[in-house]
Amino acid sequence: MHHKRIPFVLLLSLACFCGCGPSGPQRVIVSGSVSYRGKPVQQGTIRFVPSGGTQGPASGAVIENGKYEATANGGVIVGTHRVEIIAIAPRKDPMGRDLAAMEGAGTQYLPATYNRQSKLTVTIEPGGAAEHNFDLQ
């Protein structure tokens, strides 16, 4: 009978070790500004894609009036990331309404070197909130 207690005690010990401490990778809220050729990006998105030895899901945020703040799920994972930025040029209908906002469609105007083929990288350090600004040319 004594041998049946060992697995229970072992399972209880493992449950305590597995359930203790923070879960998942450390994250930081990242905010900043995005401009292209000296003008704020009015509408778009920014993605932080883990690269190098950084493991975990990508994070992102909406860019509005040249500003973004990545807060979802606690922010961006600490480590090195490739940055992908998409900027949407508003499309107006004959009455001057913004079709991109109404239909979720618009024209992406940044070169591929800032999105699909991006070479932009940032390193997110542990600690409080971080600011990363992007002045694209």
CB atoms within 10 A of CB 100: 16
CB 29 within 8 A of CB 71: yes
CB 46 within 8 A of CB 88: no
Out of 5-19, 24-38, 60-74, least confident range: 5-19
Domains and CATH numbers, the chain: 25-132 (2.60.40)
9 pLDDT more than 70? no
Return the higher-pLDDT residue of 129 and 13.
129
Q: Which pLDDT band, with edges at 50, 70 and 90, does 98 fall under?
A: low
118 pLDDT more than 70? yes
Identify the pLDDT of residue 70.
97
**Residues comprising the chain, all counted:** 137
Identify the pLDDT of residue 21.
38
